Amino acid sequence: MTVTNTNVNVTRCGSPIGSSKGRYKLGYIDSGAKILQNDTWTVKNISQLIGVASATLDATGASEPFTVSGKVITLTGATGTACSALIVYI
């Protein structure tokens, strides 16, 4: 099977954070598709992805391992299911 990429959008959670004039924002990705190990999400509605605080499997709430490169999040867990994530972005 082929690894897939899904375009996802972030929903902002609350006010900007940090001391950099409110530059950083906390956001939520709700139920992004994930079928295979190493499927990727490309985050579309942000300027820069600073980091991922957590990613979880929607079905169980278990943690989903991940890596980040630019605006792409690679979901590295072997279980295939939808995931959600909490991120920091600009």
User: Any idea where the domains of the chain sit in the sequence?
Assistant: 5-89
DSSP string of 17-56, one letter each residue: BSTTTT-BEEEEEEEE---STTEEEEE-S-S-EEEEEEEE
Check whether 19 has a pLDDT greater than 80.
no
Q: Which CATH number is 5-89 given?
A: 2.60.40
Both tokens assigned to 86: 């909490």
Read off the pLDDT of residues 30-40 as tens digits, 9 standing for 90 and up. 988 888 899 99
Which residue in this structure is represented by tokens 């991120």?
A: 87
**pTM, whole model, 2 decimals?**
0.88
Q: Which residue has the tokens 């605006």?
A: 71
**Which residue did the predictor score with more confidence, 2 or 25?**
25
Joined together, the tokens standing for residue 22 give: 């409110």
